[in-house]
Amino acid sequence: MVHWSPADLDALLCQLRDEGFRVIGPSVRDGAIVYTDIDALPVGVGDDQEAGRYRLRERGDKTRFGYNLGPSSFKQYLFPSREELFAYADGDIVPAPLDDEKLAFVGVRACELAAIQVLDRVFQGDGFKDRRYQARRQNLLIVAVDCSQSAPTCFCASSDDGPGVGEGADLVLTELLDDGEPSYYVRAGSERGAELLAASEADAASPELQGRARAVVDETREGLERLLPREGLRDALLGALDHPHWQELAERCLACGNCTQVCPTCFCSTAVEETDPVSLRVSHVRQWDSCFTAGHSYVHGGPVHAGIASRYRQWLTHKLASWEDQFGRSGCTGCGRCISWCPVGIDLTAEAEALRRTP
Amino acid sequence: MSDCLLPTMCTITGRKQDTADVFTLSIDPPDGEFPFEPGQFNMLYIPGVGESAISISGRPAEANKLVHTIRAVGDVTRLLGIRETRERIGVRGPFGTGWPISQAAGKNVVIVAGGIGLAPLRPVIYAIADRRDDYGDVSLLYGARTPADVLYREELLEWKRAGVLDLAVTVDAARSDWSGDVGVVTNLVGRIHSDPAATVAMLCGPEIMMRSTARALLDIGVEEANIAVSMERNMKCATAFCGHCQLGPYFVCKDGPVFFYPDVAPYWQQREF
């Protein structure tokens, strides 16, 4: 456990780059926090979120992690939104080279880390393994951060996925604030993380600092405004497949698929063929798909999920219920993105509660 | 470990037009041999067009020949239909679960097929014919749109003549020269006179046909755990990565396509599920 200044944090980013990592983390773009290649962390940025609403604001301090989740998740770096699986050229299948670049994710929140672990179960769990995902995942270094504030859309504590970072990160930071000046309580979560800490020349953290870090997380947890109690939720939803509320929901839902695109665990994809008209090289590309499209459930004769009600039901019952049967846990880590980025402000926690109630 | 998302290009060695819109391709399998379980499927690939999930319809004992019977209904299947011998297509598989053939040993077998649904069940008949003494009464109840749409006509008659199975065929519509049954395949369930408690049923066809047939079988006393059905959902990857074939707690590509009745019947009650 050490105590870092913002300069120590900057030094970590440099060190990671020097070690050949591609450093991915938060930056401000188009009025939102997004994950991109970074040289430095944004300073003094906060956000205001509500159902159907997301705005950045100046905090008037020097925090590096004073905002919550933006629309992009780390999913896009482990499972890219578009990716060639193979090509067909000169009469043969040519596998796309495996992308084994060393990635370092910086500023990974607790619910984000949990979401990565959900994707691990999808792409490298008990069944088939996706070699592309495995190649990226095995070199991944995770620098996580406890949340020192929550958005009104957050509900991570409902599934114990946050706001404190759980197992699986290499380094975990807690941002502490003294008169607008941040510092960091840092601990290692892996051998690799311990090596990084040993290499830094920072002071060891005092027990008092550890207590403050714990208090930050506790305060955040207590400040959470939304909850989605998970007890009995799976059975309640699967028992409510003919609930009239699905139809009521369908009258508000636009089937735009935003919720599935911002969700850090939605993994649906489709495959498209792209042929170069000159060389006739065919590229077989996997790209993100959404269960809100008619094509998603198409079989000969028409889509199985013809109406919006059945598409929303597919999404919600998969995410919060049948995911448990398939992967041993809920598909939702409580990040709240689907609430903020729904253009009509549908709140899945409220919808799930409504579906729990007998009509 | 090999990459489960990569097809292998294979040469078509034979092509037969079964009916107006159904044809059978024989393919030189990848690595010369292609062991599979009856009921499993492959992803067939035409470069530049895409992949399609097609059940394997050949004889399990003939692992050096890969056989698919295909109905031309979509982009990929229509183009597969105009491929000629010596041309190459991509093959990826086999995927999914198989029919409960070992569970059926020592019992009576009722096979119920609708239309192209006979294709994934033909390997079951081959397997039974190869070890006919292992099974009790075997019946095939088969529904087609018209007499001209009856698949594997000569083979079915040969199996009937050889005593491999009792055959009952019904069609949705026919002209006056058809002397057989007209109507839904469910109507043929009454022809079964074997002990229903010692019967394993295998159903493949449109969902509504499997639903009504399963009910009819339950009514005559076949146990629900002895009724197997093959489900159809959209499939893109066949490896449970793409999410399209999700059905309640299952991925049809991985946990199916063959399920037992109690596993999927609750979802048949739900419209658009």
Asked whether the beta carbons of A291 and A314 are under 8 A apart, the reply is yes
pLDDT digits (tens, 9 = 90+) for A257-291: 999 999 999 999 999 999 999 999 999 999 999 99
Residues in chain A: 359
Chain A residues within 8 A of B78 when measuring between CB atoms: none
* The predicted structure's pLDDT at residue A60: 96
Summarize the confidence of residues A207-226 as an average pLDDT.
96
Summarize the confidence of residues B196-224 as an average pLDDT.
96
Torsion sign, CA atoms B103, B106, B108, B113: positive
Written as six digits, the tokens of A297 are 């459930």
pLDDT digits (tens, 9 = 90+) for B10-56: 999 999 999 999 999 999 998 889 999 999 999 999 999 999 999 99
A318:B272 CB<8 A? no
pLDDT(B174) > 60: yes
B5:A318 CB<8 A? no
Higher pLDDT, residue B118 or B271: B118
Question: Which residue of A123, A282, A305 is in closest CB contact with B47?
Answer: A282
Is B204 strand, coil or helix? strand
B244:A297 CB<8 A? yes
The alpha helices in B17-152, defined as continuous H runs, are 75-81, 101-104, 122-130
pLDDT digits (tens, 9 = 90+) for A31-65: 999 999 999 999 999 999 999 999 999 999 999 99
> Per-residue confidence at B207, pLDDT binned at 50, 70, 90?
very high
Cα separation, A335 vs A155, whole angstroms: 7
pLDDT digits (tens, 9 = 90+) for A333-354: 999 999 999 999 999 999 999 9
Cα angle for residues A72, A95, B27 (degrees, 5° grid): 125
Cα separation values, B64 from B23, B24, B60, B80, Å:
20, 16, 10, 21
Interface check A326 vs B, CB under 8 A:
yes
Q: Which residue type, as a one-letter code, is found at position A225? A: E
Cα separation, B86 vs B88, whole angstroms: 6
Kindly state the percentage of chain A with pLDDT values over 70. Answer: 100
Torsion sign, CA atoms B75, B76, B81, B84: positive
- How far B118 CA sits from the closest chain A CA (Å)? 17
**Which of the 8 DSSP states describes residue A21?**
P
Closest CA to A3 of A195, A175, A190: A175
A310:B242 CB<8 A? no
B47:A267 CB<8 A? no
The alpha helices in chain B, defined as continuous H runs, are 75-81, 101-104, 122-130, 153-161, 207-219, 252-255, 261-268
B246:A296 CB<8 A? no
pLDDT(A203) > 90: no
User: Hey, which residues 75-104 in chain A have their CB within 8 Å of chain B?
Assistant: 85-86, 88, 91-93, 95
- How far A134 CA sits from the closest chain B CA (Å)? 12
Interface check A139 vs B, CB under 8 A:
no
Interface check A305 vs B, CB under 8 A:
yes
Question: Which residue of A95, A304, A314 is in closest CB contact with B3?
Answer: A95
**Torsion over CA of B180, B182, B187 and B191, rounded to 10 degrees?**
0
- Give B72-78 contacts, CB < 8 A, sequence gap 24+: B72/B21, B72/B22, B72/B23, B73/A300, B73/B21, B74/A300, B75/B49, B75/B50, B76/B44, B76/B45, B76/B46, B76/B49, B76/B50, B76/B51, B76/B52, B77/B52
B242:A129 CB<8 A? no
> Per-residue confidence at A1, pLDDT binned at 50, 70, 90?
confident
> Per-residue confidence at B269, pLDDT binned at 50, 70, 90?
confident
Question: Which residue of B232, B237, B251 is in closest CB contact with A299?
Answer: B232
Structural domain boundaries in chain B: 8-95, 101-230
Asked whether the beta carbons of B167 and B75 are under 8 A apart, the reply is no
Interface check A299 vs B, CB under 8 A:
yes
Left (φ > 0), alpha (ψ -120 to 50) or beta: where does B89 sit?
beta
**Which residues contact residue A124 at a Cβ distance below 8 angstroms, ignoring those fewer than 6 apart?**
A130, A133, A134, A137
Higher pLDDT, residue B2 or A11: A11
**Which residues contact residue A140 at a Cβ distance below 8 angstroms, ignoring those fewer than 6 apart?**
A78, A103, A104, A105
> Per-residue confidence at A199, pLDDT binned at 50, 70, 90?
confident
pLDDT(A251) > 90: yes
Kindly state the percentage of chain A with pLDDT values over 90. Answer: 92
Written out in words, the top-level CATH class of the domain with range B8-95 is mainly beta
Chain B residues within 8 A of A296 when measuring between CB atoms: 234, 243-244
Cα separation values, B123 from A19, A153, A278, B58, Å:
56, 54, 43, 6
> Per-residue confidence at B270, pLDDT binned at 50, 70, 90?
confident
User: In chain A, whose CA is at the least distance from the CA of B236?
Assistant: A270
> Per-residue confidence at A103, pLDDT binned at 50, 70, 90?
very high
Is A141 strand, coil or helix? strand
Per residue in B60-88, is it b (16+ CB within 10 Å) or e — as a string? beeeeebbbbbbbbeebbebbbebeeeeb
pLDDT digits (tens, 9 = 90+) for A143-193: 999 999 999 999 999 999 999 999 999 999 999 999 989 999 999 999 999
Structural domain boundaries in chain A: 2-223, 233-356
Cα separation, A282 vs A88, whole angstroms: 5
The answer, as to whether pTM is greater than 0.80, is: yes
The alpha helices in chain A, defined as continuous H runs, are 6-18, 75-78, 110-124, 131-138, 191-199, 207-223, 233-238, 245-250, 258-262, 308-317, 323-327, 337-340, 348-356
Interface test with A, best of B2, B4, B6 (most A CBs within 10 A): B6
Cα angle for residues B129, B53, B120 (degrees, 5° grid): 15
* The predicted structure's pLDDT at residue B10: 97
pLDDT digits (tens, 9 = 90+) for B53-71: 999 999 999 989 999 999 9
Cα separation values, A14 from A40, A184, A300, Å:
9, 17, 54
Summarize the confidence of residues B176-196 as an average pLDDT.
93
Chain A residues within 8 A of B248 when measuring between CB atoms: 238, 317, 322, 325
Closest CA to B244 of A24, A136, A49, A314: A314
B4:A129 CB<8 A? yes
User: In chain B, whose CA is at the least distance from the CA of A121?
Assistant: B241
Closest CA to A83 of A133, A33, A141, A127: A133
**Average pLDDT of the residues of chain A:** 96
Cα separation, A95 vs A316, whole angstroms: 35
pLDDT(B1) > 70: no
Question: Which residue of A267, A305, A322 is in closest CB contact with B272?
Answer: A305
Cα separation, A55 vs A185, whole angstroms: 28
Main-chain phi, psi angles of A337, to 5 degrees: -60, -40
> Which residues, listed in sequence order, are joined to residue B201 by a DSSP beta bridge?
B110, B227
Main-chain phi, psi angles of A322, to 5 degrees: -70, -15
A128:B49 CB<8 A? no
pLDDT digits (tens, 9 = 90+) for A56-66: 999 999 999 99
Residue with tokens 């690595």: B31
Summarize the confidence of residues A67-71 as an average pLDDT.
97
Cα separation, B263 vs B224, whole angstroms: 10
CATH number for the domain formed by residue range(s) B101-230: 3.40.50.80
Cα separation, A327 vs B42, whole angstroms: 25
Left (φ > 0), alpha (ψ -120 to 50) or beta: where does A302 sit?
left
Kindly state the percentage of chain B with pLDDT values over 90. Answer: 94
